A and B are shown apart, each in its own frame.
Chain A
């Protein structure tokens, strides 16, 4: 068995997949640290599920999937913010209700995609991603989105960390926690959108919280955790692309879904980090 099937680096779909995977993993890893610290994993997942409706809508309208996913993801973030209460229990409730509504709309839009537009593979692509079959120009858009998201995160990093660790202290310090939370939700919406481009809406939470949770177990400071989470995510994304490319030789002519490999690697990374922590 060769370590690298021929044509890996010269392959356009692979180059695109590596670029999109990198953008998604870097922003999701860094933003995910705050998601875990703030206990918003479920909210992140709800945003991802709502964004699926945007992905399905993009097929119907013939617009860029990035635009579709992001617009609905932002709408979901606003809905969460409007419904959300300060207490964790209320927040989960709001997330669950937004999630249900989002998936319901997704079911309707996917039905329309198939019956009106004849987009046969829409459901699989929206839910589980098709990293090797992305529209032209998506790679660059994802890279730009990731850059903007990382800059934004760097901008609000200090007050956000304070608010995430101790909301009362942050308020006493004059931080507008409500506004900060809203801005953070928008960044989260962007991270979820980019991840959905890579591994689909349903699986995008894996890239968001998996590497972040692993990094928080290993790193000594939140900044270090952000950097490590981004790198671990990148490793999972690129490793997944490489393994999927390799799988062409395992079952001749077919590749296993790249989303499977990425999420499997995320699980391995998290398990390894847990063991390392315990040892």
Chain B
């Protein structure tokens, strides 16, 4: 079995090997960051597609098309986020042969978890990768060892990001920040940031409901009186409130960090995307702390 791993890794390294090896499984990541991790685990043996991959739109507002239903019907393994973020997929997946992995379930999170953006949490993807390898192995036992080995490769490749998080935390733990909505909160918390924005305001922005004027005033005060160092906003969501907070932050000479909800087009991989956003945060903190 050992040489099989070597061959698999070699095929990946050479790149051209992907064309030679015939994909055995078809897998779907509801969000493209999950699809990216799935393809890192599946290598040449799994053909992976993503459903929500357009960084210009907000996945919360996704509308189902017949093409998507067809893709899900043909999938062997599907990864979804859970926590109501992509609940539309459950309806389409019931009755299909797909093994469904939910990030919420592998993390053992209750339905009441307020922030659904689990992929920003460093603990999520290792758990997802493990579950994905298990599901791939069950459907394609011939390459089980390869899938298991890829989990180790993936976990190791998260190290630069985790190191960066630890470094930011070591230098800037407790730094106050404000956010437009909860998208990157797990990462900010992992980096030791203190999010001063009321969560009710974040939730109103995420859900498109009326914000409380008390919360709006609170956030304006944070920004105008420079009680925070960095303002973090979701680049994939445009709304009046987020735009006006961002303008206010720029006028107040605060650092403004734009983050993405789904994996952006230019990103090399999930871990690279996370690393870059964390690095930028670190740079802004270094500049803003002066």
Contact = CB atoms under 8 A, between A and B. Distances in A.
Contact of A135 (B63, B209, B220, B244): B244
Contacts of B237: 118-120
Contact of B213 (A14, A136, A257): A14
Contact of B200 (A5, A13, A135, A253): A253
A256 B216 CA distance: 15
Given A11-B217, A12-B216, A134-B240, A120 B61 contact: yes
B243 interface: yes
B58 A132 contact: no
A123 B215 CA distance: 22
A258 interface: yes
Interface residues of B, number: 32
Interface in A117-140: 117-125, 130-136
B54 to A, nearest CB: 8
A245 B214 contact: yes
Nearest to A130: B210
Interface in B234-255: 236-241, 243-244, 247
A117 B55 CA distance: 10
A11 B208 contact: no
A82 interface: no
Contact of A118 (B58, B213, B220, B247): B58
A84 B243 CA distance: 41
Nearest to A6: B214
A7 B215 CA distance: 11
B122 interface: no
B214 A11 contact: yes
**Interface band, chain A:** 35 or more
Contacts of B63: 111, 114-115
A120 B236 CA distance: 10
Contacts of B200: 253-254
Interface in A246-260: 248, 253-258
A135 B60 contact: no
Contacts of A172: none
A259 to B, nearest CB: 8
Given A125-B240, A134-B240, A115 B212 contact: no
Given A120-B58, A120-B60, A13 B198 contact: no
B56 interface: yes
A89 interface: no
Contacts of A116: 56-57
A216 interface: no
Nearest to A118: B58
A117 B235 CA distance: 10
A248 B240 contact: no
A246 to B, nearest CB: 11
A253 to B, nearest CB: 4
A7 B221 CA distance: 12
Contact of A124 (B58, B60, B208): B208
A185 interface: no
Interface of B: 56-58, 60-61, 63, 198-200, 204-206, 208-217, 220, 236-241, 243-244, 247
Interface of A: 5, 7, 10-14, 17, 59, 111, 114-125, 130-136, 244-245, 248, 253-258
